[in-house]
């Protein structure tokens, strides 16, 4: 099947949405589909986009700059995308997160709309309502059950018979290579290595990690990720000497860091900022890094939040702690530091859970709609 993936944000970028989209396109290609990605022009330097993201398949990536005119610029870019899709030849499915390009391209093929949050802006909500009225919209994909519930509550069209089908499909991860290098981390060779991978926005629990490091001087804490601005903010603050900020690394270069960690942290707070450090996605967050922790078989300590418990079970594939209770987090780290067997058991269960339910390849089959009376899988 020929699929056009329409993405509103930059490729390449330092943001998680770019990783998600490239992983999905890679999985579509693995499934035998002819996939082309249409995205915004990226500002992050990368000579080879596929090498930057570490994809297995070299699917076409076409990028379009939007004129710097509010709203109008988005429509201009959307119509450029439509023209490019038409010129590429007939497509079987339009899939994506770009409201404007999906609306502009409606009529070229059936649509699947994926969303990761309730749209905060009035213009975006208007575009979404228009999209939901299209007869060609076959599915709406949400990343969490909580988000699906909120869409059904706020959008009557999604509750009515005959409306687009709703599907929940969490973020995922690929299984890592069986062998590979391990990062040479700074700090003490014999110290427990506690890892965090992700952005440093408000709500990601960086304050919790710094407080943990202060209360656990015998462990080293390694934080991988963050924009230059956020890194400057946290590095300017007083921090314990056992905290190491590694900055942003291309997604393809993260495996050695995961291998080096003894345990990993996901201290998401009740309010979580999205890309750019704005908004609040705490109720709906589906962190990709959590699934990457699972894929590497790492013992995870995570926040006890309802949305994370859609995936995590305390004492089975993780240890859960109240988001802002540093005493509880300290006790959890000490407990796992003293019990390598429990670390191994939690990591093994997390990895098995991911293999069973949360690979990108499995997600492709979950999100594709029924066309012509059959579920579309593989090439047609």
Is residue 320 within 8 A of residue 304, CB to CB? The reply is yes
Does residue 276 have a pLDDT over 80? no
- pLDDT tens track for 174-217: 999 999 999 999 999 999 999 999 999 888 999 999 999 999 99
Does residue 376 have a pLDDT over 50? no
Structure confidence at residue 274 (pLDDT) = 63
Indicate left, alpha or beta for 253 from its phi (over 0: left) and psi (-120 to 50: alpha): alpha
What are the chain's domains?
A: 2-172+359-375 (3.40.50.2000), 192-357 (3.40.50.2000)
Does residue 378 have a pLDDT over 50? no
Does residue 127 have a pLDDT over 90? yes
Is residue 11 within 8 A of residue 64, CB to CB? The reply is no
Indicate left, alpha or beta for 108 from its phi (over 0: left) and psi (-120 to 50: alpha): alpha
Q: What is the mean pLDDT of residues 313-329?
A: 97
Q: How far apart, in whole angstroms, are the C-alpha atoms of residue 32 and residue 27?
A: 9
- Look at 77-91, 95-109, 228-242, 332-346 and tell me which has the smallest mean pLDDT: 228-242
- pLDDT tens track for 130-146: 999 999 999 999 999 99
Structure confidence at residue 161 (pLDDT) = 84
Structure confidence at residue 375 (pLDDT) = 42
Q: How confident is the model at residue 232 (pLDDT cuts 50, 70, 90)?
A: very high
Q: How confident is the model at residue 69 (pLDDT cuts 50, 70, 90)?
A: confident
Does residue 156 have a pLDDT over 70? yes
Q: What is the mean pLDDT of residues 34-49?
A: 94
Q: How confident is the model at residue 271 (pLDDT cuts 50, 70, 90)?
A: confident
Q: How far apart, in whole angstroms, are the C-alpha atoms of residue 227 and residue 193?
A: 23
């Amino acid at each position: 099947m020929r699929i056009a993936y329409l993405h509103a944000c930059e490729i390449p970028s330092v943001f998680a949405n770019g990783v998600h989209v490239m992983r999905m396109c890679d999985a579509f290609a693995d499934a035998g589909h002819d996939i082309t990605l249409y995205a915004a022009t990226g500002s992050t330097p990368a000579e080879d986009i596929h090498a930057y993201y570490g994809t297995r398949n070299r699917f076409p990536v076409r990028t379009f700059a939007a004129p710097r005119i509010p709203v109008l610029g988005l429509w201009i870019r959307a119509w450029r995308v439509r023209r490019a899709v038409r010129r590429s030849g007939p497509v079987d499915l339009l899939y994506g997160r770009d409201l404007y390009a999906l609306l502009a391209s409606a009529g070229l093929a059936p649509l699947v709309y994926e969303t990761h949050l309730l749209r905060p802006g009035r213009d975006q909500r208007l575009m979404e309502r228009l999209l939901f009225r299209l007869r060609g919209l076959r599915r709406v994909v949400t990343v969490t059950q909580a988000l699906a519930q909120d869409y059904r509550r706020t959008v009557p069209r999604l509750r009515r018979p005959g409306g687009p089908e709703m599907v929940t499909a969490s973020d995922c991860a690929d299984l890592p290579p069986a062998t590979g290098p391990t990062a040479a981390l700074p700090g003490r060779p014999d110290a427990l290595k506690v890892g965090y991978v992700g952005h440093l926005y408000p709500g990601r629990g960086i304050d919790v990690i710094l407080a943990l490091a202060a209360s656990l001087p015998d462990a080293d804490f390694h934080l991988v990720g963050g924009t230059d601005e956020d890194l400057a903010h946290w590095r300017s603050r007083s921090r314990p000497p056992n905290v190491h900020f590694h900055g942003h690394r291309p997604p393809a270069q993260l495996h050695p860091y995961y291998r080096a960690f003894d345990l990993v942290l996901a201290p998401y707070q009740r309010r979580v900022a999205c890309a750019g450090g704005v908004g609040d996605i705490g109720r709906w967050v589906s962190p990709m890094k959590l699934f990457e922790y699972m894929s590497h078989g790492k013992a995870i300590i995570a926040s006890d939040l309802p949305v994370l418990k859609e995936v995590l079970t305390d004492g089975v594939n993780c240890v859960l702690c109240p988001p802002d209770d540093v005493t509880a987090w300290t006790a959890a780290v000490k407990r796992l530091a003293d019990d390598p067997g429990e670390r191994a058991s939690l990591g093994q269960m997390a990895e098995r859970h991911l293999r069973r339910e949360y690979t990108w390849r499995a997600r492709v089959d979950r999100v594709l709609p029924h066309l012509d009376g059959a579920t579309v899988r593989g090439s047609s």
